[in-house]
Structure 1
């Protein structure tokens, strides 16, 4: 006899609540209230998971759940890139997280398009040395790379699911942007392979999504330089110089000749935000008059973008009372929290030149894979993403088409066999920052496995 949908939902919710009566460690991680936080209807947890006892490496996480009445809901791990940048600083605080930080660096306001309206969001600072994550072995800061990052993140997941057993059987996805274009597929591959042959794996992995992602060095470079030239950011001569010196280089470890060519390009580009080429720099909005003029020229920016968000988070997360509320820096070390670690970035080790073999493996495994791109990013532009996807040689199942939000074009999409590409019109490198509503619509459709809307009104 079939179980009625309403009864099934009640049974699932009851089972969730029973499993949620979890370990004391999870209870200790409960966030009572953050300084300057508005009232919310959802629980949050944060703290540390040790991933290597011998080295003393521990990763910091922040879980923002859906409201209790919406459980059980999927769990999504969010990773930012760099390498060396904090997911708390970017994903949680200026993109898809529950809160935005006001310019005073002391108070928070609710993000209307927070992704924990649709899923439980788990932000992870990875690897050790990023954000609040730490290592007791100082040499770790000079020897990080892709392989250790993936294995430490997997060790984190295994231990985290033991701390939060109610999530073991929930649909689990991994998402991220930028250099997480390496982290996300590599961790996905590790989870997938470790699940093989296990009747009830501890990670109920369903797929991944990446945005403006470092994917394949050759095509990333080719698309990057073409995009710069097409947008008038570099001269014809510099375009040819970049193609001659960089196309066979590593993005993370470029040759001196490629570095020199990129220096020439940077001089020609001038003082603009390459992560969002049509929006102002933070120091260009110092006066309210300048800000108002900018909004008049670009009405689509109204209410959606603060170019100084990074400086707000630097103030907020260095407050001792904020660190105490987050159960961060528990030993009280006197150090400055930074959004990105220059030490890690400058000494990054192994970085494979292509993620495409991992894509091929995981597409063949039948996992849900979505790639999205803000089309005003010049760091990993849409052109790069399209070249990288083309290199996979996938058959098209739904040809290129515009998708709509409230009868306005939100971007474009193409569906391939095993992969969906979505662009977000007018968004920069951090899609949920520049286009929060459209980014949330993208996220909802990814979770549902539904193609982006071709017409009509999107709620």
Structure 2
């Protein structure tokens, strides 16, 4: 009887079936040899149905680690990374059509990549629990259950080294998931998840909007986006007297500067925007109509295309959005991830943080300020690095006792999209370190 109960629980918590979930005609992909899968993982007896996409490595999948890719937000899909950043075929940036081209610097060359749309409600994922609270704590716990259920179905990857990867609000998701994995591994040593490390780009570490805004403003001040008087007022008056008339005038000038600035890449240009950030920042800044410049509308059209849904075996009435604004607005930010870095390091988890130096969503100044708050963190070295092929300067490597921090030159918030070759080199060097 006990065996029967356990069996029912296992079946009730996972509807993953590699044979059923394999896709033989991936939408808009040319002929390819690597295997691809699309399906759902059920946890908590169907209260959450989490969408996943899995693609085996382009080369030698049997010898490569498992890389689990998370989205940002909170509330945004990991599939933006598949289509725009790290996938084997990626959209042509700036085109008003969904055109895919081969990505010679795909993360899929370094590992087998599993894309998870968490928390429940993101992308095609569904939530069937009226009492559920989206939060950092629950995202960590739920993701552990999802990963366990997926590995139960894909047994050949259970013993593989696992890396957690993502950008932006993944800086919160990933350390929270890693914390749960470490604790559960200690609790259930016979059912370990072989977590090797985490890789986070332009990630949230201090989970406070005021802290982010302060250091993003400092980022623009240091790079001369404001006149000298405005910069001095921001650094002095706004720090000591944020409600003063002089500070308020400086903040009005800031709005004017930001009005025509692409915060995802301050040295890049805008291609229009239909994303969640546009809606949110329009609400925050009022008169700023084009505050952000990432056009997620093309992704929305792609994943809502009837032909795409049919090939992925997605029900026709299921609606996909790149970001779920309900999750964003109702998400409980109940943790800071910078306080988890020492815990992860002490438990033999390798940590890569990286930033594009043209990002004003989660700026490099914000990341530096966040890292300084990590108890016991000490800088060992800081040096530039060059691209192996071109010998052009690619950025800087800052080594700490707990982690490695890469700064990628001429990249914005979407580092793998802006600097594919340099990002690939960073991933390869870090994953293959002894």
Note closer, same or farther for the CA distance 1:77–1:259 as it changes in structure 2 (3 Å cut): farther
| Aligned counterpart in structure 1 of residue 60 of structure 2, from 62, 69, 76 | 69
How many positions carry a matched residue from both structures? 386
Q: Is the deviation greater in 161-170 or in 384-393?
A: 384-393
Counterpart for residue 382 of structure 2: 400
**Paired residues of 2:16 and 2:40 also in contact (CA < 8 A):** no
**Paired residues of 2:65 and 2:111 also in contact (CA < 8 A):** yes
Residue by residue, what CA displacement relative to the aligned partner does 1:105-161 show, whole Å, maximum 9, x if unpaired?
A: 455332221110111111111111111111234564xx3121222111111001000
Query: 1:333 deviation in Å?
Result: 2.3
Structure 2 stretches lacking a partner, 5+ long: 1-14, 274-292
Query: 1:260 deviation in Å?
Result: 12
| Aligned counterpart in structure 1 of residue 371 of structure 2, from 376, 384, 389 | 389
Per the alignment, in what secondary structure is the counterpart of residue 76 of structure 1? strand
Matches within 5 A, 1:370-389: 370-389=352-371
**Paired residues of 1:177 and 1:211 also in contact (CA < 8 A):** yes
Note closer, same or farther for the CA distance 1:414–1:101 as it changes in structure 2 (3 Å cut): closer
**Paired residues of 2:272 and 2:295 also in contact (CA < 8 A):** no
Note closer, same or farther for the CA distance 1:147–1:92 as it changes in structure 2 (3 Å cut): same
CA distance in 1, matches of 2:253, 2:142: 38
Determine if the alignment matches structure 1 residue 418 to structure 2 residue 402. Answer: yes
Query: 1:322 deviation in Å?
Result: 0.7
Per the alignment, in what secondary structure is the counterpart of residue 366 of structure 2? helix
Per the alignment, in what secondary structure is the counterpart of residue 57 of structure 2? coil
CA distance in 2, matches of 1:194, 1:334: 34
Counterpart for residue 263 of structure 2: 274
Determine if the alignment matches structure 1 residue 87 to structure 2 residue 69. Answer: no
Query: 1:263 deviation in Å?
Result: 7.7
| Aligned counterpart in structure 2 of residue 179 of structure 1, from 166, 169, 173 | 169
CA distance in 2, matches of 1:77, 1:195: 18
Residue by residue, what CA displacement relative to the aligned partner does 1:189-211 show, whole Å, maximum 9, x if unpaired?
A: 00111111544434111111111
Query: 1:445 deviation in Å?
Result: 1.2
Counterpart for residue 25 of structure 1: 17
CA distance in 2, matches of 1:245, 1:120: 52
Counterpart for residue 430 of structure 1: 414
Determine if the alignment matches structure 1 residue 194 to structure 2 residue 184. Answer: yes
Matches within 5 A, 1:92-171: 92-101=82-91, 103=95, 105=97, 107-137=99-129, 140=132, 143-171=133-161
CA distance in 1, matches of 2:333, 2:67: 26
Note closer, same or farther for the CA distance 1:238–1:395 as it changes in structure 2 (3 Å cut): closer
CA distance in 2, matches of 1:264, 1:348: 31
Counterpart for residue 426 of structure 2: 442
Counterpart for residue 294 of structure 1: none
Structure 1 stretches lacking a partner, 5+ long: 1-22, 247-257, 285-306, 451-459
Residue by residue, what CA displacement relative to the aligned partner does 1:74-108 show, whole Å, maximum 9, x if unpaired?
A: 001111211111111x2111011122235464553
Per the alignment, in what secondary structure is the counterpart of residue 71 of structure 1? helix
Residue by residue, what CA displacement relative to the aligned partner does 1:4-60 show, whole Å, maximum 9, x if unpaired?
A: xxxxxxxxxxxxxxxxxxx98111111111232111121111110012225x31111
CA distance in 1, matches of 2:240, 2:310: 52
Determine if the alignment matches structure 1 residue 321 to structure 2 residue 303. Answer: no
CA distance in 1, matches of 2:67, 2:186: 21
Query: 1:276 deviation in Å?
Result: 0.6
Cα root mean square deviation, aligned? 2.7
**Paired residues of 1:314 and 1:338 also in contact (CA < 8 A):** yes
Matches within 5 A, 1:228-239: 228-234=220-226, 235-236=230-231, 237-238=233-234
Counterpart for residue 13 of structure 1: none
**Paired residues of 2:342 and 2:402 also in contact (CA < 8 A):** no
Note closer, same or farther for the CA distance 1:177–1:308 as it changes in structure 2 (3 Å cut): closer
TM-score normalized by structure 2?
0.82
Counterpart for residue 50 of structure 1: 42
CA distance in 1, matches of 2:363, 2:16: 45
Per the alignment, in what secondary structure is the counterpart of residue 327 of structure 1? coil
Matches within 5 A, 1:187-226: 187-196=177-186, 198-216=188-206, 217=208, 220-226=212-218
**Paired residues of 1:225 and 1:242 also in contact (CA < 8 A):** no
Per the alignment, in what secondary structure is the counterpart of residue 397 of structure 2? strand
Determine if the alignment matches structure 1 residue 362 to structure 2 residue 344. Answer: yes
Note closer, same or farther for the CA distance 1:334–1:362 as it changes in structure 2 (3 Å cut): closer
